Amino acid sequence: MGAEERLAALNLELPPAPKPVATYVTALRVGDLLYVSGHGPLKSDGSLIKGKVGADADIELGIAAARQTGLAILATLKAHLGSLDKVVRVVKSLGMVNCTPEFGDQPKVINGYSDLMRDVFGDDAGIGTRSAVGMGSLPGGIAVEIEATFQVKD
């Protein structure tokens, strides 16, 4: 089963592919690698999931924000490639969690994203290398930002 079939079977709705909010592109292909700029938890209605995990947001909100960020990344992949079936594998992801200095469960939060990638691309192709770090703030007060690199094919 391909990524497009898995996405449909999971009954997932992709938000509109985000547009750049500054001087950058949302994705750039170099050879067989597609570098995806930092994305936030964009919902289908255009709103963003905001909050600081450990203060005004709990870990469940953080996990949901990471998953929603993954959906936004999938929307960008589909917009740039035409089909998620052109993704060979997740190579590297960097997950940033807007959190208090005391919060230490950033990897659990970013699992919201990683589990989604595994579910859409499969156990082998959907699990790549990853870092999960805490940040004192993120743009616009969003709860999570994630950037990623994917191996792709024509």
Q: Which tens digit of pLDDT belongs to each residue from 62-94? A: 999 999 999 999 999 999 999 999 999 999 999
pLDDT at 85: 98
Extract the residue ranges of the chain whose pLDDT is less than 70: none
Quote the mean pLDDT of the chain. 97
pLDDT at 137: 97
pLDDT at 88: 98
Question: What is the rounded distance in angstroms from the CA atom of residue 122 to the CA atom of residue 96?
Answer: 23
Superfamily of domain 3-152: RutC-like (3.30.1330.40)
Task: Report the helix count and the strand count for the chain, using DSSP H and E.
Answer: 3, 5
Distances (CA, A) of 93 to 10, 44, 150: 22, 23, 9
DSSP symbol at 18: P
Give start and end residues of each alpha helix (H) in 10-150: 59-81, 106-121
Question: What is the rounded distance in angstroms from the CA atom of residue 18 to the CA atom of residue 100?
Answer: 27
pLDDT at 82: 97
Question: What's this model's pTM, rounded to 2 decimal places?
Answer: 0.97
